[in-house]
Chains A and B, each alone.
Chain A
Amino acid sequence: MPINVNRIKKMKMKLKIATLFLIYIFSISYVNCQAKIIKTQTPPRPAGQKDVLQLRCEPIPTVRIAFIGLGMRGPGAVERMTHIPGVEIVALCDVLQKNTISANKILAKRGFPAAQEFYGDTTVWRKVTALPNVDLIYVATDWKHHAQIGVQAMKDGKHVAIEVPAAMNLKEIWDLINTSEKTRKHCMQLENCVYDFFELTTLNMVQQGLLGEIIHGEGAYIHGLQPYWDAYWNNWRMDYNRTHRGDVYPTHGLGPVCQAMNIHRGDRLQYLVAVDTKAIGNPEFIKKKTGKEVTGFRNGDHTMTMIATEKQKSILIEHNVTSPRPYSRMYQLTGTKGFANKYPVEGYALEQEMVGNDIAPNHENLTAHKFVPDSIRTRLMKKYRHPIAKDIEDLAKQVGGHGGMDFIMDYRLIYCLQKGLPLDMDVYDLAEWCCIIPLSEISLDNNSSPVQIPDFTRGLWNKLPKLEFAK
């Protein structure tokens, strides 16, 4: 009698499933009995309101810009915009008059007409969003005012670009989404790190399949801010860390990884879990400066957040603004065919078959067990330079702004507005990247319990097949 191999296989399978189930049941007794995934609310989309995926608006041949917030990042943005054709700068707004004056000096130096100045208090920005002769409000205030100004700007009929992080809690995030959907205005977060050269080049490689399927990504904001703490208006940034726990600045790390993973364009963030260290560095810093003992400082020195996606990819995001260590945004992608890592040295490792003869004539000598040699990396980066960087790379490096990425960001924003194209980053990107702030805090305050990440597209994350920058 022949042995029925299939039946044996099936029995083996059943046994395995039973074993796994037992392991699972057994495991439950180990984990925190109170711990379970924490659900979040998704407010229903109001009737008649539509999504803003791939939102296109009327072309604006000359984009009239008003800047709100001219402290640390605003003046650089004003300067950069003067290098982009088809831009008028009509208003400059800050709490402090000295900041509007010096911004106008930048315009004068660049041969631009003076812009109208608004200053005096923290409500004067309302006059700016209400101006009739403005197309785009560029928000670079402290974190707490970002979303509020963004919402009002759209209500006043303006497109809005908001510095990172654009929103600090779920209410602000939903307000921005609903306002953008209702008003049909663009709401873009000014996440410059997605435009850095290594990130753009790597994104292009990913989109062309060079790294295979991306299964894991990492990003971070690791930057000792000791030299800058004094420069924040009213000490707002340190105060935020003092009163909040969690990754309060996740977008630089998360943005480029989400783009490589096509988040809300075929995949979506599903849940996160966060762990932090105790707080030592920042309280020490304050004590050294003020002589006062600091108690109850909320944010830990080092915060890690793991995110699972619908398609079972994993992401690790870290935040540390106090430890003495070299700057790092990590930026790392693990794929089934290759690997990219930015810090501390830019490197790629690729399966032999992925490297063509045009890149390495002796590619059979290559192995993914090592980073490719410098010469091959240079050739790879040239071949896969992202189309949106190609034409303006030289100008970007000349104008500068974190090495040029800020300029590419502004250039793309203006270019798309002028042509009436969808922007590179939409309000859902903003929401996904910013929601880590409140959700990591919830996880931490619940002993690192997993927290569900809302689907900010409300069911449409699979509508677009992949991320595409408009041409």
Chain B
Amino acid sequence: MDNNFSSPELPPPVRAVGQRHVLGLTSDPLPKVRIAIIGLGIRGTRALKRLPYIDNAYVTAVCDISYDNIKRSVRFLKSQQLTDTKVLQGADAWKKTCELPDIDLVYICTDWKSHTPIAVYAMQCGKHVCIEVPAASTVDECWQLVNAAECSRRHCMMLENCCYDVFELAVMNMVRQGLLGEIIHLDGAYIHDLRGRLFGSQHVDNIHWQLEYFVEHTGNPYPTHGVGPLCQLLDIHRKDQLSHLVSMSSSQVGLTGYAMQKYGSNSAEALKPYLLGDMNTTIIRTQKGKTITLQHDICNPRPYERTFSISGTQGFARKYPIPAIAIEPSAHRALTPSKTRKLIENYAHPYVLQWAEEAHKLCGNRARDYIMDARLIHCLHLGLPLDQDVYDAVEWSCLTELTEISVLSGSLPVAIPDFTRGDWNKFHGS
């Protein structure tokens, strides 16, 4: 270890006697994976339309707080002749759903703030869980997830779909085969102009909770799409560990400006005191001296990007704005687009070879969602460890609070907890 960062973080909560880590956790194979979806908004509805088409997956219950969402889902279920599915609606319906005896996996697609409470309860009820991103909004919630998973020995996976895009998976394959050498620096982002959606009339549900969240919080509230695939490439908590971060946000002008233009300067939307700085930039350093930059901007006119840029000692890959790969000895120039395409094909990941065709047929440009689910169900069916464990979920999610702490303190360095509590270098699988 070549770095001497010595920030005294809050001592991690002590692991209870007899409680063990869940690195490489396996559980009994499930001939049929019986799923309850909680939360049938945008993403839950997409999941509902996907999961029935995945081998060995059965949606046996759906649950939402809103009657309208339930009505829409029931209509879909009927159209697919899936009439055995249990339907639960109401404010506390999620609890009853977690308690159902004939469920193996609780699939959580609710608003950010309810992710952790539902997941913890589901694990306590003996269910595996998968949770939409971010799985937790605070470090405290992160520890709740870790402890629940370690106590219950249940899987707790975050549904980080961006790890399953074709380009990301191909680069993963290249890195595993050494094509880019040792990876030393990476960039990720979530840059997505969401103003139209946040203030639009189409997704009324969003107005309440996401904008409210941006009134209460700054930093990077949505770090996982950017950082997830990068942490996988660095083998975080397998061979390396996130050490500390510094974070900086620009002023907030985008949300207010848009609201003023759309609704007028005196509208409620324009007068809300949004705290979220327009552009957040965070730099993370790992124990082994690698770095990650991570950005977040959802309120300025920019093309969508997650950056996904990988710098190694033998080559370079970058996804946005156009896929580019450069390999030694001529890495000072990127390969031509056609050669890049060819290389991506040549390094196509096994998951892509196995599922991409089906995924594209059913989900079009959201193929990554299908591949993620197919892989999840595949592992549960065969009793294999999942691709993403609870430590991945919390390492990626804890950045929401830690970036905010750094931003509010004037970019002071903030230590990132070791959620494995000392076990990060023990398990080298990936």
Please report A residues at the B interface, Cβ cutoff 8 Å.
Answer: 13, 16, 19-20, 23-24, 27-33, 35-37, 212-213, 215-216, 224, 271, 273, 275-278, 280-281, 284, 300-302, 304, 306, 308, 311-314, 316, 320, 323-327, 334-339, 341, 344-345, 347, 349-351, 368-371, 447-450
C-alpha spacing A408/B142, complex, angstroms? 55
C-alpha spacing A324/B254, complex, angstroms? 37
Selected from B193, B248, B289, the residue in CB contact (under 8 A) with A273 is B248
Task: Kindly report which residue of chain A lies nearest to residue B318, judged by CB atoms.
Answer: A344
Inter-subunit contact B302/A449 (CB<8 Å): no
Contact with A along B28-40 (1 / 0, CB 8 A): 0000000000000
Is B160 part of the binding interface, using a Cβ–Cβ cutoff of 8 Å? Answer: no
A residues less than 8 Å from B249 (CB atoms): 314
Inter-subunit contact A345/B322 (CB<8 Å): yes
Contact with A along B248-261 (1 / 0, CB 8 A): 11110110010000
Inter-subunit contact B300/A31 (CB<8 Å): no
- 7 of the cross-chain contacts (CB-CB < 8 Å) are A32-B8, A275-B285, A278-B289, A280-B182, A301-B184, A326-B334, A335-B301
A residues less than 8 Å from B404 (CB atoms): 23, 27
Task: Kindly report which residue of chain B lies nearest to residue A314, judged by CB atoms.
Answer: B250
Inter-subunit contact A337/B406 (CB<8 Å): no
Most buried by A among B184, B288, B312, B326: B184
Residues from 216 to 262 in B contacting A, C-beta threshold 8 Å: 216, 244, 246, 248-251, 253-254, 257
**A30 touching B10 in the complex, CB below 8 Å, given contacts A323-B185, A326-B331:** yes
Shortest beta-carbon distance from A345 to chain B in Å: 6
Inter-subunit contact A302/B257 (CB<8 Å): no
Contact with A along B182-206 (1 / 0, CB 8 A): 1011000000010000000000000
- Among B72-80, B96-104, B410-418, the one that faces the other chain is B410-418
Selected from A19, A336, A371, the residue in CB contact (under 8 A) with B300 is A336
Most buried by B among A302, A334, A350: A334
Inter-subunit contact A316/B326 (CB<8 Å): no
Inter-subunit contact A447/B6 (CB<8 Å): yes
Is B291 part of the binding interface, using a Cβ–Cβ cutoff of 8 Å? Answer: yes
B residues less than 8 Å from A371 (CB atoms): 303, 321
A residues less than 8 Å from B279 (CB atoms): 215-216, 314, 334
A residues less than 8 Å from B278 (CB atoms): 215-216, 334, 336
Inter-subunit contact A280/B304 (CB<8 Å): no
Is B313 part of the binding interface, using a Cβ–Cβ cutoff of 8 Å? Answer: yes
Shortest beta-carbon distance from A220 to chain B in Å: 11
Selected from B3, B184, B293, B318, the residue in CB contact (under 8 A) with A304 is B293
Is B311 part of the binding interface, using a Cβ–Cβ cutoff of 8 Å? Answer: yes
**A36 touching B412 in the complex, CB below 8 Å, given contacts A30-B405, A323-B311:** yes
Task: Kindly report which residue of chain B lies nearest to residue A23, judged by CB atoms.
Answer: B408
Is B167 part of the binding interface, using a Cβ–Cβ cutoff of 8 Å? Answer: no
Shortest beta-carbon distance from A141 to chain B in Å: 27
Is B41 part of the binding interface, using a Cβ–Cβ cutoff of 8 Å? Answer: no
Is B316 part of the binding interface, using a Cβ–Cβ cutoff of 8 Å? Answer: yes
B residues less than 8 Å from A23 (CB atoms): 404-405, 408
**A337 touching B315 in the complex, CB below 8 Å, given contacts A304-B291, A314-B249, A314-B281:** no
Inter-subunit contact B291/A447 (CB<8 Å): no
Please report B residues at the A interface, Cβ cutoff 8 Å.
Answer: 2-10, 139, 181-182, 184-185, 193, 215-216, 244, 246, 248-251, 253-254, 257, 273, 275, 277-279, 281, 283-285, 288-291, 293, 297, 300-304, 311-316, 318, 321-322, 324, 326-328, 331-334, 402, 404-406, 408-415
* Number of CB contacts from chain A to chain B under 8 A: 222
A residues less than 8 Å from B321 (CB atoms): 341, 344-345, 347, 371
Selected from A306, A313, A350, the residue in CB contact (under 8 A) with B283 is A306
B residues less than 8 Å from A300 (CB atoms): 289
Selected from A320, A336, A370, the residue in CB contact (under 8 A) with B257 is A336
C-alpha spacing A212/B284, complex, angstroms? 30
Inter-subunit contact A273/B185 (CB<8 Å): no
Task: Kindly report which residue of chain B lies nearest to residue A37, judged by CB atoms.
Answer: B410
Task: Kindly report which residue of chain A lies nearest to residue B261, judged by CB atoms.
Answer: A353
Shortest beta-carbon distance from A300 to chain B in Å: 7
A residues less than 8 Å from B4 (CB atoms): 447
Given contacts A30-B414, A31-B405, 14 further A-B contacts (CB under 8 A): A19-B216, A213-B253, A216-B278, A278-B2, A306-B283, A320-B185, A324-B316, A324-B331, A325-B316, A335-B301, A336-B300, A344-B318, A369-B301, A450-B410
B residues less than 8 Å from A19 (CB atoms): 216
C-alpha spacing A107/B184, complex, angstroms? 46
**A280 touching B184 in the complex, CB below 8 Å, given contacts A308-B411, A368-B193:** yes
Most buried by B among A212, A215, A277, A344: A215
Shortest beta-carbon distance from B216 to chain A in Å: 7
Task: Kindly report which residue of chain B lies nearest to residue A323, judged by CB atoms.
Answer: B311
B residues less than 8 Å from A448 (CB atoms): 244, 246, 283, 285, 413
Most buried by B among A16, A306, A341: A306
C-alpha spacing A313/B409, complex, angstroms? 16
**A31 touching B409 in the complex, CB below 8 Å, given contacts A345-B321, A369-B193:** yes
Closest 9 pairs (CB-CB, A-B): A368-B301, A278-B289, A324-B331, A312-B251, A325-B316, A32-B7, A27-B405, A216-B279, A302-B185
B residues less than 8 Å from A324 (CB atoms): 181, 312-316, 326-328, 331-332
A residues less than 8 Å from B251 (CB atoms): 215, 311-313
Inter-subunit contact B313/A323 (CB<8 Å): yes
**A344 touching B248 in the complex, CB below 8 Å, given contacts A302-B311, A304-B291:** no
A residues less than 8 Å from B297 (CB atoms): 216, 334
Inter-subunit contact A326/B332 (CB<8 Å): yes
Most buried by A among B2, B6, B7: B7
Most buried by B among A28, A281, A325: A325
C-alpha spacing A455/B321, complex, angstroms? 36
B residues less than 8 Å from A369 (CB atoms): 193, 301, 303-304
C-alpha spacing A423/B390, complex, angstroms? 58
C-alpha spacing A29/B244, complex, angstroms? 14
Inter-subunit contact A308/B185 (CB<8 Å): no
Selected from A29, A31, A215, the residue in CB contact (under 8 A) with B406 is A31
Task: Kindly report which residue of chain A lies nearest to residue B1, judged by CB atoms.
Answer: A278
A residues less than 8 Å from B290 (CB atoms): 277-278
**A308 touching B248 in the complex, CB below 8 Å, given contacts A271-B411, A369-B303:** yes
B residues less than 8 Å from A308 (CB atoms): 248, 411
**A344 touching B324 in the complex, CB below 8 Å, given contacts A275-B291, A306-B283, A324-B331:** yes
